[in-house]
Amino acid sequence: MGSPPRASVHDAAHWDQRYADPARVPFVAPEPVVTDVIADVVTDVVAGVPGACGTALDIACGEGRHAVWLAEQGWRVTAIDFSAAGIATGRALGAAHGVDVEWVVGDVRTWRPAAAYDLVLTCFVHLEEQTLRSVRSWLAPGGHLVLVSHGAGPGGPGPRFRTTVAAMRERAGDLEVLECREVAGEAERSSRILLHARRPA
């Protein structure tokens, strides 16, 4: 009798097992490239008005570090991931930080939002073009899309999950590209490729 099939990184079961590992230390701090670009988004969306950041969607939020950080900045956040274990960790992190986030266990490939968003964030998530096309349509007029992926460098995942600046720029589709660049990684980490695009108002 053969061995059971190994869980894929595209399966919720894989991530449930990973997030539930008692030896795992969850990431709680947001990626610096995310915090830097969101500061620019806030300036554009609300013209510097404190506490009026708008609505944000964190796709494949994992353990919720970016969703919680966004909520702390004043965004009204929805966070979705297909891992119930990841969402449970994010919910606990949000409670510990005293912020409200709408946590959703769901698959972004089939899930549909009830309304458009001022900001959509995906960090280290490879979305197929069909799904990405849907994601771009979830932006409100003037809304911002922020994608962060792995680039070159010694750390990070295998080649399948890495990208380049040129390839990332194409993921903007019909959106206006505000910024697309490579950010150097720290020691033993891959670089980050950032795309910041906007739907015309």
Beta partners for residue 197, in sequence order = 145, 177
95 phi and psi angles, rounded to 5 deg: -65, -40
* Cα–Cα distance for residue pair 6/14, rounded to 1 Å: 9
The pLDDT assigned to 43 comes to 59
The pLDDT assigned to 135 comes to 97
pTM of structure: 0.86
Q: What is the pLDDT along the chain (201 residues), one digit of tens a residue?
A: 444 444 445 678 887 787 777 777 677 789 999 999 988 776 565 544 445 579 999 999 999 999 999 999 989 999 999 999 999 999 999 999 999 999 999 999 999 999 999 999 999 988 999 999 999 999 999 999 999 998 877 766 677 778 899 999 999 999 999 999 998 876 567 789 999 999 998
**Among the listed residues 40, 33, 93, the one whose alpha carbon sits nearest the alpha carbon of residue 63:** 93
Domain ranges of the chain: 12-19+28-198
The pLDDT assigned to 56 comes to 95
- Give, in words, the CATH class of 12-19+28-198: alpha beta
The pLDDT assigned to 15 comes to 73
The pLDDT assigned to 184 comes to 84
- C-alpha distances (whole Å) from 168 to each of 38, 53, 131, 190, 193 are 18, 26, 15, 16, 7
The pLDDT assigned to 45 comes to 58
19 Rama sector, left if φ>0, alpha if ψ -120 to 50, beta otherwise? alpha
